Structure 1
Amino acid sequence: MIMSKDSFLCSSSSSSTEGGLGFNPTKKGALPMLLLIHVLLLLRGAASDPLPINTPLTRAQMEDLFRAYAPYVYLHPDEEYLPSSVDWFFSNGALLYKQGEESQPVRIEPDGANLPKGGDPDGSYWIDLPADKDSRDRVSHGDIASAEAYVHFKPGVENGTFTDIQVWMFYPFNGHVTAKIVFIKRVSLGRAGEHVSDWEHVTLRVRNVDGVLDRVYFSQHSGGKWVDASQLQIESANRFAWYSSRNGHAGNNEEGMYLQGPGNGVGIRNDWAKSNKVVDTAARFVVVASEGEGEAVVEPPWLSYESKWGPTKQYDTAAEVKGVRMFLLGKLKEALDKCVKMIDEVYGTDGPTGPKAKNNWSGDEA
């Protein structure tokens, strides 16, 4: 679904189409011809004895397909909070806190080996930025040079006819939101929307029978949307643009400004635009998980940390917008109040969780 201006960001689904984005060996950067033939023979089988459409792909095939379709992540020109690698975040002073022992935070090892594993229903643990102000400010702005994509292969989805390739990006900090209120194009809402750590992803759904990219899911805050491959912006060969919204990092397949909120020209801005701040996911990626294989992927220790990647919200959203609210009249006040409620519903009060703790890690996209 392509959103129109002043629309809500919402979860949606699209049905499988006869089209899709396939290999084109004549384009620069496409899979080499021999590899293409190899993939087609493995996937299609001989004409006299074709492979069934639910034949799972091998690890090598999935990696080849990812390289063929790997997106470019475009940050907004005015983006302040850039992505980084998880190792960079930990190596630059990220701290682990435990409830009841807040005065004794622990420095996290670069690979997260000293993080607690498994679930944490009581919220006993959380990660935070370094304690001192200078380091805190520096780390919150990320390090795009270290940024890498974390890839999760999920073969055999939709009754075995597709393979999902989830591509996760990490941001040390999610910035504040801005709003549009009728004729006021951009108004800051203080710290509203801020939180430590942000995980965003896209999912590439590839047809097993022929290796064609069918559609892509773009995560957007607490939801997301499916986009047919024909609606992607192709950058080179078969690789597409993944736009990251300013401050909030919600994903999209195209540039523009869209509103999330009550409508009628009032809502939270989501701004997507191309810039020279870009991450080439094919050039720097790590396969962190692959399901259903005999040879298991060695998962990084931090992937099994399912507690919060940020502390509980430390501000009152209504108080943050108080200065703006006092200058509004009547229905505009009511519209802003609805935005405040939506911010708390979308961003929540607790810190975000990591990839493995999210429903779409083991289940389907919403």
Structure 2
Amino acid sequence: MEAWFRAYAPYVYLHPDDKYLPSSVDWFFSNGALLYNREDESKPVRIEPGGANLPKGEDPDDGLYWLDLPNEKEAQDKVRHGDIASAEAYVHFKPAVLNGTFTDIQVWMFYPYNGHATAKVGFINKVPLGKIGEHVGDWEHVTLRVRNVDGVLDRVYFSQHSGGKWVNASQLQFQNQTEKRFAWYSSRNGHAGNNEEGLFLQGPGGNDVGIRNDWAKSDKVVDTGARFVVVASEGEGVEEPPWLNYERKWGPTVQYDMAEEVRNTRKLLPGKLKDTLDKVVKVIDQVFGKDGPTGPKSKAYWTGDEV
């Protein structure tokens, strides 16, 4: 299975204007990330290497624990922007939820911070949405579905915010004709995955209105084949890192006032475009939500199928 992954390991291309880059989990911990306990919020603790002191078990939705940025502003700014030099892929092998003819290889990337959303509203191509979309601790992944009989890559699932899409192998952008390693594009600020460059709008307005997902190739790239760690494999006895079994929030619940952020944005728009913006706002919670994000193992598709 590891040989299969090396054969197809994607290159993660960040958007050239993205300031919120990936890092390794250990870099995030070692640069001041904090563990909070609701019962004593005034005394957060530094996270030990590998996440050795992170809580495990119990109800992941009880809101008792969460992670956050360091307290010092300078340290916060540093961690928000990540460290692409340390970034590594976290790989999970599992049987595909089909009839035993495929193996799924989940490839996870960690981003310390998810940046603000941007919308397209009519003829105005880029409308910043204040703090909307920002949150600490962003996990994204692709899933490679490989045929067991011959090790051929069949299709790839790209996670996109609260959903995603399957793409047949024939639609992937491979690096060259001899190498079957493909491009995994990460959207500007939000890090949704895609198989090609371009713009996709999420929202109710077709080509004129929606939340922007911008994908483009740049020199900000992570070679997952060169920098990866196998963190789990069904039935293979892989030693899982402590942080993988932390199923609580990797960031606090977002505290900004969405109504205020929208009001500030509406002031910049002329006439009828103010009403057009309101249509976009209706889907914001569906796309981003306000709750702190959870880690890979708490996702339904860690053991189940992608949806």
Q: Which residue of structure 2 aligns with residue 148 of structure 1?
A: 88
Counterpart selection for 2:6 from 67, 75, 78: 67
Q: Which residue of structure 2 aligns with residue 203 of structure 1?
A: 143
Q: Which residue of structure 1 aligns with residue 189 of structure 2?
A: 247
Alignment partner of 1:332 is 2:273: yes
Shift of 1:330: 6.2
Contact persistence 2:200–2:214 (CA under 8 A): yes
Instruction: Map 1:46-65 onto structure 2 (within 5 A).
Output: 62-65=1-4
Q: Which residue of structure 1 aligns with residue 39 of structure 2?
A: 100
Q: Which residue of structure 1 aligns with residue 131 of structure 2?
A: 191
Q: Which residue of structure 2 aligns with residue 259 of structure 1?
A: 201
C-alpha separation between the residues in 1 aligned to 2:62 and 2:183?
A: 39
Which SS does the other structure have where 2:278 is aligned?
helix
Q: Greater CA deviation, 152-161 or 214-223?
A: 152-161
- Structure 1 counterpart of 2:46, which letter? R
Contact persistence 1:309–1:353 (CA under 8 A): yes
Shift of 1:156: 4.8
% identity of equivalent residues: 77
Contact persistence 1:71–1:280 (CA under 8 A): yes
Shift of 1:324: 2.2
Contact persistence 1:80–1:141 (CA under 8 A): yes
Contact persistence 1:200–1:219 (CA under 8 A): yes
Which SS does the other structure have where 2:142 is aligned?
strand
Counterpart selection for 1:283 from 195, 214, 226: 226
Counterpart selection for 1:173 from 113, 124, 132: 113
Change (3 A) 1:186 1:156: closer
Contact persistence 2:130–2:265 (CA under 8 A): no
- Structure 1 counterpart of 2:250, which letter? W
Q: Which residue of structure 1 aligns with residue 287 of structure 2?
A: 346
C-alpha separation between the residues in 2 aligned to 1:156 and 1:130?
A: 39
Shift of 1:342: 1.4
Shift of 1:350: 1.0
Shift of 1:180: 0.6
Shift of 1:317: 1.8
Q: Which residue of structure 2 aligns with residue 269 of structure 1?
A: 212
Which SS does the other structure have where 1:233 is aligned?
coil
Shift of 1:339: 1.7
Alignment partner of 1:234 is 2:174: yes
Shift of 1:346: 1.8
Contact persistence 1:93–1:107 (CA under 8 A): yes
C-alpha separation between the residues in 2 aligned to 1:211 and 1:226?
A: 18
Q: Greater CA deviation, 62-71 or 319-328?
A: 319-328
Q: Which residue of structure 2 aligns with residue 22 of structure 1?
A: none
Contact persistence 1:318–1:340 (CA under 8 A): no
Which SS does the other structure have where 1:360 is aligned?
helix
Larger radius of gyration: 1
Deviations along 1:265-323, one digit per CA (max 9) or x if unpaired, are: 01111000000000000001000000033xx0000000000000000101012211212
* TM-score in terms of structure 1 length: 0.81
Q: Greater CA deviation, 327-336 or 191-200?
A: 327-336
Shift of 1:155: 2.4
C-alpha separation between the residues in 1 aligned to 2:259 and 2:210?
A: 15
What is the aligned length?
Answer: 303
Contact persistence 2:68–2:252 (CA under 8 A): yes
Aligned alpha-carbon RMSD (Å): 1.2
Q: Which residue of structure 2 aligns with residue 37 of structure 1?
A: none
C-alpha separation between the residues in 2 aligned to 1:222 and 1:316?
A: 21
